[in-house]
Structure formats: C-alpha cells, structure tokens
Amino acid sequence: MPVNDSVSERIKEVRHVLKLSQIKFSKAIYISNGYLAEIELGNRRVNERIIQLIATTFGVNKEWLKTGQGKMFLSTSDEKCERIASLFKELNPEFQDYVLSQIDQLINLQNRSDTGKRDTC
C-alpha cells in the first residue's frame, strides 16, 4: 500500500530538475536505485538521513523538501552558512572560540584591504 507522501514527489521533482537518472541520483546520496524508486513511488517513507543527504549533495532547501515551503534550492551563501553552522556545532567549545577569533581576524583583514564581495548568512 503506497505511503501518500508528498516528500516523495518533491524528491522526484528535484531529480527531474537536475536531469539525473534514478541510478545517478541514488548513487550520489548513497542509496540503491531500487530504494529510490520505492521512495518515488510512495512505497517508502523518507527518513531524515536521506533528506540531509539530498540537501547537502544537491543544495536543496530541507524545508522545501519536507513541507514544500520556500524555494527548492538554497542560494550558495545559504548552503555555505548551513554547512558552517552544522560543522561549528560539532566542535568542542574551546575550538568554537578559536574559530570565532579566526573569523574576526579575517573580517578585519578583509575590511582593511576592502576587497572581496560580501555574501552573508
């Protein structure tokens, strides 16, 4: 009995927009093409791991993938900010402090040289 899940439809839509076969798409997110086919048919539920893999691999907006709200793809800056935040949370507090101090120094250097396009989170 099919699981009536619009997340499945959105995954299929992403794959079509990217013009990828089920084989190429499934390989990129480390699942079998049979499993992907079952997802797209609505026979399998989509877990958080698969949503995260699709979002990370293809720059898809997780919120759109889950709910249909927002844009299908994140802008490059949104994707970078999300990745930075995710990696930052994995660091121990003392390393987080170090990263923040390095970012402060980079911003000061950038402001002094006044070069580079700024793309903020």
Tens digit of pLDDT for each residue in 40-94?
A: 999 999 999 999 999 989 989 999 999 999 999 987 776 677 778 888 888 999 9
Dihedral through CA 17, CA 23, CA 29, CA 34, nearest 10? 110
Judging by beta carbons within 10 Å of its beta carbon (0-12, 13-18, 19+), is residue 20 exposed, middle or buried? middle
pLDDT band at 115 (very low <50, low <70, confident <90, very high): low
pTM of the predicted model as reported, rounded to 2 decimal places: 0.62
Query: Residue holding tokens 């086919």?
Result: 37
- Rounded to whole angstroms, the Cα distance separating 90 from 72 reads 27
Dihedral through CA 4, CA 9, CA 10, CA 13, nearest 10? 180
Query: Residue holding tokens 């003392």?
Result: 94
